Amino acid sequence: MTAPDTLTILAPDGSLKGSEPQIAPDELLHCYRTMVRVRAFDDVCLKLQRSGRIGFSIPNKGVEACQVGAASALAKTDWIFPSYRDFGMALYHGVTPTDMMHNMFGNDLDTARGRQMPVHFSFTEPIKFVSISSPLGTQIPQAVGAAYAMKLRGEKTVALTSFGDGSTSTLGFHSGMNFAGVWKAPVVFLCQNNGYAISCSTAEQTASESFAIKAKAYGMPGVRVDGNDLLAMRAATLEAVERARRGEGPTLIEAVTFRMGGHSTSDDPTRYVPKELVEEWAKKDPIDRFERYLKKKKLWTKELGERTYAEAVDEVSAAVKVAESTPAPKLESIFSDVFASVPEHLRRQGQAAFDLAARKGDAGAGDGKFPL
């Protein structure tokens, strides 16, 4: 069995290789600005982590088109079950950098109240963006279960779950795909094949000719897409979403891309990624490619690009100031966030903890170090 062809609409030089989808100029520019905001958020967070002001971050450089292209095919009533390299989906649908930066600092306005790692966002508005999990693949069966519930309720909503190539080796991937195929659940599986699962290359990950080809075994279509091509990502995801809404079941999309940075801020990719490979993929940078396309449509200039990035950095920097000045969660919230009525034995333990904090001072937030 041969691997599926790779869908490409935009060549690296921005020219069209296929039929051009009809997308309004405002929508094209919104996709562009969102990709730039993802990169600006990354750049600022790297500096914050290196200076010890936050403990951890996940780089997205090179995979922005996967996130934004897929997100642009979803309605705000749909649900996203993301991986930790997907916050561009939330930005596209109206989550602000300030909303996200509260999580990076784990403050009292963080939706998880400081009880999640940085870059583990969760939002209920303006789109359902389910909490990111650290363990690989756990979001996949969760998405399938939610999608099956949507089907049982007669809803026309869709769940999209995104994950990296390394997650295809998890039980969650295989059980999720199997159940989705059997139930014809309205779910879209988006595998971002970005070259490496931390330091494990795709050649060491699977013997299959592609990840998309795995869909055949579970009774669903498998589509392989140029993940650095926003238009191709949008087209493939839109087709899968529409198919799911019609009640025709799930689709597996493999987005072929490359992360041009570390797995996280704790990783040194120069230890395992050949320099030549990074240089090769840099020529396929999804933002550069989309700029060339927009320029051909007379929607982009160098001045617009510089201004857009500067505005994005200013927006993220302003978000840092707000999040950094927001107080940490109160100590009592470890009880009040869990119990409507605190049991007496926990009330006594809580009082002892409060007394200790009063004598010794509140627990600090750490020194910016993180073990992963």
The predicted structure's pLDDT at residue 330: 85
Q: Is residue 167 very low, low, confident or very high in pLDDT (cuts 50, 70, 90)?
A: very high
The pLDDT tens digits of the residues spanning 315-327 come to: 999 999 999 999 9
pLDDT at 360 over 70: yes
Residues 366 and 243 in one domain: no
Which is the catalytic residue, given 272, 307, 347, 348? 272
Read off the tokens for 294. Answer: 């927009």
Residues 104 and 146 in one domain: yes
Q: Is residue 371 very low, low, confident or very high in pLDDT (cuts 50, 70, 90)?
A: very low
Residues 369 and 270 in one domain: no
Domain stops at, among 325, 341, 356: 325
Residues 109 and 258 in one domain: yes
The pLDDT tens digits of the residues spanning 44-71 come to: 999 999 999 999 999 999 999 999 999 9
Is 30 designated active site? no
Rounded distance, CA 69 to CA 35, Å? 9
Write down the mean pLDDT value for the chain: 93
Residues 304 and 354 in one domain: no
Residues 239 and 350 in one domain: no
pTM value is 0.93
Residue 108 in any domain: the answer is yes
CB 305, CB 33: distance < 8 Å? no
CB 33, CB 308: distance < 8 Å? yes
Reduced to 3 states (helix: H, G, I; strand: E, B; else coil), residue 21 is coil
Which residue, chain included where needed, has tokens 């390394």?
166
Q: Is residue 372 very low, low, confident or very high in pLDDT (cuts 50, 70, 90)?
A: very low
Q: What mean pLDDT comes out for the span 349-371?
A: 65
The pLDDT tens digits of the residues spanning 182-230 come to: 999 999 999 999 999 999 999 999 999 999 999 999 999 999 999 999 9
Is 272 designated active site? yes
The predicted structure's pLDDT at residue 2: 53
CB 168, CB 230: distance < 8 Å? no
Q: Is residue 363 very low, low, confident or very high in pLDDT (cuts 50, 70, 90)?
A: low
What are the strands of the beta sheet with 128-129, ordered from one edge? Answer: 6-7, 222-226, 251-256, 187-193, 159-164, 79-81, 128-129
51 Cβ contact list (under 8 Å, min separation 6): 368
Q: What is the tally of structural domains in the chain?
A: 2
Which is the catalytic residue, given 93, 113, 263, 289? 263
Residues 247 and 370 in one domain: no
Single out the residue of 88, 80, 69 nearest to residue 132, CA to CA.
Answer: 80
Domain assignment of residue 367, given as a range: 330-372
Q: What mean pLDDT comes out for the span 69-96?
A: 97
The predicted structure's pLDDT at residue 162: 98
Residues 276 and 370 in one domain: no
Residues 269 and 315 in one domain: yes
The pLDDT tens digits of the residues spanning 225-259 come to: 999 999 999 999 999 999 999 999 999 999 999 99
Residue 294 in any domain: the answer is yes
Which is the catalytic residue, given 93, 224, 234, 259? 259
Rounded distance, CA 289 to CA 72, Å? 18
pLDDT at 367 over 50: no
The pLDDT tens digits of the residues spanning 251-303 come to: 999 999 999 999 999 999 999 999 999 999 999 999 999 999 999 999 999 99
The predicted structure's pLDDT at residue 362: 62
CATH of the domain at 100: 3.40.50.970
Residue 363 in any domain: the answer is yes
Is 148 designated active site? no
Residues 231 and 361 in one domain: no
Residues 160 and 213 in one domain: yes
43 Cβ contact list (under 8 Å, min separation 6): 313
pLDDT at 364 over 50: no
Angle between helices 286-296 and 25-50 (to 10 degrees): 150
Residue 1 in any domain: the answer is no
Residues 55 and 155 in one domain: yes
